[in-house]
Chain A
Amino acid sequence: MRSPRTMISIGAALVSLALVLAGCGGQDDDAAQSGTGTFKLWHYESANGAMGKAWDKAIEVFKAEHPGVTVEFERKAFEQIQQNASMILASDQAPDLMEYNKGNATAGLLSSKGLLTDLSDEVTGRGWDKLLSPSLQTTARYDEKGVMGSGSWFGVPNYGEYVMVYYNKDLFQQHGVAVPKTLDELTKAMDTFVAKKITPLGMAGAEYPAGQLYYQLALSKADRSFVDNYQLYKGPVSFDADPLKYGAETFRQWVDKGYVSQRSASLKAEDMGTAFIAGKTPMIVSGSWWYGRFSSEIKKFQWGTFLFPGNKLNAGSSGNLWVVPEQSKNKKLAYDFIDITMRPEIQTILGNNGGVPVNADLAKVTDLKNKELIANFAAITAADGLAFYPDWPVPGYYDVLVAGGQSLINGSKNPQQVLTELGKAYEQGVSEIENG
């Protein structure tokens, strides 16, 4: 339980770390230049996931290529990094290389405060920029205010993720439903399931899935300039008009028509995923992060994926970033490690374990499903179709979106009321970022 006393202690810790920050400067370790010393690496990928397996191999390669260097690897929890990164990076305990979340509120914020190393010279020098499409580069570059999309490179992503539709092939076959290619076909497919008293679309209002469906629907009416305005503040965003109006209104219509259960407001993403794994749900709209898990856990039925029908833009982005803390004592070793993770041999491990690599040797990706996953991502990025995520624009917007999604599901507010609340929080957040 977070008592006020705990919060006060946290506050005190933050103050003292701010003082540390003020007093600390960057330094480079000579040992790194000579290829000896200790290299501290942190990431938060699970050991049996695609990224975890790939990075394990990268560590092996790194050790072989740097025999005089001791690698100190620590696997952290996502929450640990999410909530403490700023304090850690401001101290002399910072690692030499760290995985970190992409976006204005995370990597952008830290870069604007001078806690991350500007990687621009390394990125061009080592040719990493040539391996990353423009939409993947968006989350790696931040301007002086910490807004993504332009400015210097403060992180390097080396995998991707995107939102798609997962479907239960057996249920589709059993009820004579074909894989939809347009939004109309998707709604007709859902009508078929509703007529059979099956809720066609799994949902979880208490976490990200509702916000992502609302955004996918909005994106069906959006173009790149909308995404640039919404995510990069390049122009005004109207919450009273399409595409956001269409997103919220269609979401509510889908609830009214029984495509989405009105009783899913309290469910978490895990509930939605496990219901799909259990074969109870014909479809879910969610991200590629489920892919590896579904591959290993779904044994009783056939499943597949398709892109959200008709959308040219899809929620998705680069994966998390490798960032080099300004306090890193071995920056050159950090760059060497990033370089290894970019190699086709490591990227292929991602591809063979349900990840979405950016530079794999596709001839060596053996699983047909994985090939399809990677091909779909390649198609999206080739068409400049990554639209990031709806909660990215401002810090704390995730909770606002969750609240909005829950209201659309349980009908406690109409779409217009939800849009007004989303717009108010968005404008306030953007104004705070722009005015510092």
Chain B
Amino acid sequence: MPSSTLSRVQARPSRGYWWYLLPGAIAFTVVVAVPFAANIYLSLTKWSGIGDPRFVGLDNYTRLLHDEVFWTSFRNTAAMVIAMVVVPTLAGLVLAATLFDVIGRRFGPKAASFLRATFYLPQVLPVVVAGILWGWLLRPDGAVNAFAEAIGLGAHDWLGDPGTALPMVMLVMIWVQIGYPVVIFMAALQRVDPDLYEAAEIDGASWWHRFTAITLPQIRPETFVVTLTCTIAALKVFGPVWALTRGGPNNATTVPSYFAYNAFFNKLQVGYGAAVATALTLLIVAISIGFLKAQGRVEEAS
């Protein structure tokens, strides 16, 4: 059969499959593309939410670049990435490997499952509930201060001091996030061939050697997924900040999504809020594309 005929034979069924993409494409257009285009348009206007938007070109973006709070919000996002991606992923890796490889072996799979569930529990709580709960613990007359005073340390307004508010929000987010990588990594470890560990053990490899030489390379795809999803969650984090600090004290914990919300609803600066939302969306899309490309390259190389 000539090669051109072969191509035609292969092309026919793939053209048929395009119809299956239609519902998704329509949904994407209606739910994502059109609102995003509308948002971009609004970001080029000055509008209080009522009446006709006034076209102002790139004014909102120029203002954004000179807005100190906007840059503070992005600096705080970097802190959120540490709290919601870096720490939970690293700690999650170690915890999952420990639960699977040490606890699971010594105390049985039930003990490991129980501990995994405990780590995952904060993920089940609605994030605002978690925020309110931690708000109670951290308030000036809350349990954390009662404990601090009992052991001789003075009480402190943890969420009211700009020096401690952001670290406290980060701490809460580590607590909320850590169960997610643990669960994903433990599931990933189930599919690693036990013979690899056995062979390594026979060869005298320590736990650390097994972890670095077998566990890490074997669960690389899951590490990518966790890192990507957690990074996106960190970039658009809103609920915990709203529940714990409302971006305060004095913008110490403001993040871009809260900043945009504030512009939309409190300041009635819809155009400016849309500019923040557009900048944030573009950043998330760019990071996601970067991640996916990096993942593709790594997988190709391996």
Contact = CB atoms under 8 A, between A and B. Distances in A.
* Chains A and B belong together in one complex: yes
Interface of A: 1-5, 7-12, 14-15, 18, 21-22, 83, 86-87, 90, 105, 109-110, 113, 115, 205-206, 261-267, 271, 395-396, 398-399, 402-404, 406-407, 409-410, 412-413
Contact of B52 (A8, A22, A265): A22
B201 interface: no
A407 B250 contact: yes
Contacts of B53: 15, 18
Interface core residue of B35, B163, B264, B269 (most chain A CB under 10 Å): B35
A3 B31 CA distance: 13
B250 A21 contact: no
Interface in B225-257: 236-239, 245-251, 257
Contacts of A8: 32, 35-36, 38-39, 277, 281
25 contacts: A2-B261, A3-B257, A8-B277, A9-B31, A11-B39, A11-B270, A14-B47, A90-B50, A113-B48, A113-B51, A205-B249, A206-B246, A261-B140, A263-B156, A266-B249, A267-B160, A396-B262, A396-B263, A396-B266, A399-B262, A409-B160, A410-B161, A412-B162, A412-B163, A412-B249
B127 A12 contact: no
Given A105-B268, A266-B139, A410-B161, A86 B50 contact: yes
B157 A1 contact: no
B163 to A, nearest CB: 8
B284 A4 contact: yes
B156 to A, nearest CB: 7
B35 A265 contact: no
A292 B273 CA distance: 38
B263 to A, nearest CB: 8
B260 A109 contact: no
Interface in B70-129: 127
B293 interface: no
Given A2-B257, A7-B39, A406-B250, 11 more contacts: A2-B260, A4-B277, A7-B257, A11-B270, A263-B156, A266-B158, A266-B160, A266-B248, A271-B139, A396-B269, A403-B248
B264 A7 contact: yes
B160 A109 contact: no
B133 interface: no
A412 B111 CA distance: 47
Interface string B39-64: 10110000111111100000000000
A11 B160 contact: no
B274 interface: yes
B265 interface: yes
Given A15-B38, A406-B250, A395 B236 contact: no
A3 to B, nearest CB: 5
A2 B139 CA distance: 25
B140 A267 contact: yes
Nearest to B160: A265
Contact of A12 (B39, B160, B237): B39
Contacts of B277: 4, 7-8, 11
A431 B152 CA distance: 52
Nearest to B249: A406
Contacts of A15: 38, 41-42, 53
B50 A406 contact: no
Given A267-B140, A406-B250, A21 B160 contact: no
Nearest to A409: B160
Given A8-B277, A262-B157, A263-B156, A395 B267 contact: yes
B42 A206 contact: no
Contact of B270 (A1, A14, A110, A266): A14
A398 B53 CA distance: 24
B236 A4 contact: yes
A413 to B, nearest CB: 7
B159 interface: yes
A205 B165 CA distance: 14
A327 B39 CA distance: 27
B34 interface: yes
B214 interface: no
B216 interface: no
Contacts of B260: 2, 4, 7
A263 B139 CA distance: 9
| Closest 9 A/B residue pairs (Cβ) | A265-B160, A396-B267, A266-B160, A406-B249, A266-B159, A8-B35, A263-B157, A263-B140, A12-B35
A4 B280 contact: yes
A215 B157 CA distance: 24
Interface in B141-182: 155-163, 165
A396 B36 contact: no
Contact of A110 (B50, B52, B156): B50
A18 B36 CA distance: 17
A266 B266 contact: no
Contacts of A396: 262-263, 266-269
B248 A4 contact: no
Contact of A1 (B139, B162, B236, B269): B236
A10 B48 CA distance: 13
Contacts of B262: 396, 399
A162 B267 CA distance: 25
Contact of B249 (A22, A86, A87, A265): A265
Contacts of B39: 7-8, 11-12
Contacts of A2: 236, 238, 257-258, 260-261
B250 A267 contact: no
Nearest to A89: B50
A266 B127 CA distance: 19
A18 B50 contact: yes
Contacts of A413: 250
A9 B34 CA distance: 9
